[in-house]
């Protein structure tokens, strides 16, 4: 599996980088993240341009507190 994008956290005070979610090329949960994340009610929403059930990308939700990733829509 080749990585094609990540959601990460970086703490500038400690200079610590943490990978939270990795998108892979065979990703049923999407690959090739596209655009910016949107924050709403404590969760981030975004999309990918590939992957998912039909290979055309997904819309996803990610909760940073729980680190739970949920596929919301397949294109």
pTM, 2 dp = 0.84
Q: What is the pLDDT of residues 11-42, one digit of tens each?
A: 999 999 999 998 887 778 888 898 999 999 99
pLDDT for 73 equals: 96
Cα–Cα distance, 49 to 41 (Å, whole number): 24
CB atoms within 10 A of CB 35: 9
pLDDT for 12 equals: 97
Cα–Cα distance, 30 to 12 (Å, whole number): 29
pLDDT for 2 equals: 54
Q: What is the 3-state secondary structure (H, E, C) of 1-16?
A: CCEEEEEEEEECCCCE
Which is nearest to 2 in space by CA: 61, 35, 51, 46?
51
């Amino acid at each position: 599996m080749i990585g094609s994008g990540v959601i990460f956290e970086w703490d500038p005070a400690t200079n610590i980088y943490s990978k939270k979610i990795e998108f892979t090329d065979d990703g049923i949960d999407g690959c090739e993240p596209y655009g910016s994340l949107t924050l709403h009610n404590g969760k981030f929403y975004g999309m990918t341009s590939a992957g998912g059930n039909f290979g055309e990308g997904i819309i996803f939700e990610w909760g940073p507190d729980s680190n739970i990733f949920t596929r919301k829509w397949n294109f």
